[in-house]
Chains A and B, each alone.
Chain A
């Protein structure tokens, strides 16, 4: 089984979000970048397939050289090789089109991507990639088993979950649940040393025009002070929720 894991290079979940250049660009100053958490669950599941069922695992990112430490981390966790498509990830369609070329050239059976990145939250790349490559697609995937050519997946739906059967080629939009949080891997020293020697291929992008443009960013309006209510006066909370906030 040949697996490709798509890795987004995103600000750490604790990051304060700021913008520069007239609120048109994300301010990376002082921001720690990490593997997108949804992708990390997928990467760990791919490692499981590699170790238990025999699979090769490549990782890919669409972005500039600044994303390479994130790809190296994925190599240190155990991926066999990394690919970076050297172009700016301007919108979801551009990213999906670059990934589609990698998938078609690499002949992957299974592509695992996070259901969304935690920066732009578009939630579009896995589905677009499936559409562009005519692969089957399972989104919000919280369980994945492969038995020969048969794939069984569990996906989260509103108010529950459903089990589906499908086959390769397959794209997964994965999330927490693909593996448990406690099973996520932290690179050890041996992995970090080995990662330095693993191949990281830089590819030129294919031509793609962005369909959308992020023209400006805004931060939510500053919050007013909290109205504190005495713990012995719960009546007042009910009153405020009914008459002031009008939510009950």
Chain B
């Protein structure tokens, strides 16, 4: 009756979100007086999961599963939940986890709460806090089914070391027809992505044109951050849609969000509201973003950002 967690890996190595959901699962298991079992698909060394509180790992190894498939992965998770008699199943808020979760919910007849930001305030009834209205509000939700499925928001819980055994056990579930087959993957390499980023540097129309993005990228490089943009910038084709942050773009729950030349339309603010610390650099002191920001500089980005890059380089060199 352990808490079950899906731990994502890529080329055999666990992603940060896997360790975060493991940390969260341990906190939930402690509340319920039970243990944590992780499902790891084609991961090489699973011992690190013990560092984050996982007691047991069900290792699934099958080359057919090298590429993510929502239907197959959901079926594997459902079989694991049945084997472990799990009442709580936890996944992350990655694109893949949120793809498989509703299929898993149907498979397990489980009530599903996504975008969860805290440990349950109660486990009977099972009550969680989740974001709603694209971060403009929170929704306190109860899950009323025997099996509960939770998707944890990124950066909401953090990594908590909590040593456990992580005893590995081979698991060979039946694998269903895929139905959807991956033909090709086009992934950015060597760059921090918005999905993985703890820091995001974002530019708006105030940067005047795509040719000026060099300093945004340089600032992101110094900070180990991802780059992003406002909706007008992606609509104008200065930056790809995948960088558009906001209500109809990507939500960002970073530890630090730096907005350069972005005025702060309500739809943009909704998209970044879950970020912990917000910095705004804008020439207009009346820009709405200053009301939402923690730190602000009223000034010309073309003067401020190069100075900030230099100061940060010096700071990093001293660390």
The interface of chain A, by Cβ under 8 A from chain B, is 11, 13-14, 16-17, 19, 37-38, 91-93, 96, 118-128, 130-132, 136-140, 142, 152-153, 155-167, 173, 175-177, 181-182, 210-220, 223-224, 226-231, 234-235, 237-238, 240-242, 245, 247-248
Contact = CB atoms under 8 A, between A and B. Distances in A.
B137 A128 contact: no
Interface of B: 70-71, 94-96, 98-103, 105-107, 110-115, 127, 129, 131-145, 179-188, 193, 195-196, 199, 223, 235, 241-242, 244, 247-249, 255-256, 266-267, 270, 273, 276-277, 279-280, 290-300, 303-304, 307-308, 311-312, 315
Contacts of A14: 266-267
Given A38-B248, A131-B103, A211-B112, A241 B180 contact: no
B248 A176 contact: yes
A217 B247 contact: no
Given A142-B241, A213-B142, A228-B298, A165 B102 contact: no
A136 B223 CA distance: 41
A161 B242 CA distance: 9
A234 B98 contact: no
Nearest to B310: A234
Chain B, interface SS category: mixed
Given A217-B132, A234-B311, A165 B141 contact: no
Contacts of B294: 224, 226-227, 245
Contacts of B292: 223
6 contacts: A37-B248, A161-B186, A166-B180, A226-B293, A238-B311, A248-B312
Contacts of B315: 238, 242, 248
B16 to A, nearest CB: 11
A170 to B, nearest CB: 9
A234 B183 contact: no
Contacts of B298: 228, 231
A118 B271 CA distance: 11
A164 B69 CA distance: 10
Contacts of A120: 132-133, 139
A245 B312 contact: no
Nearest to B68: A157
A128 B223 CA distance: 39
Contacts of A247: 199, 255-256, 276-277
Contacts of A158: 94-96, 193, 195-196
A41 to B, nearest CB: 9
B179 A136 contact: yes
Contacts of B144: 210-213
B133 A118 contact: yes
Contact of B179 (A157, A161, A166, A235): A166
Contacts of A235: 311
A237 B280 CA distance: 11
A17 B279 contact: no
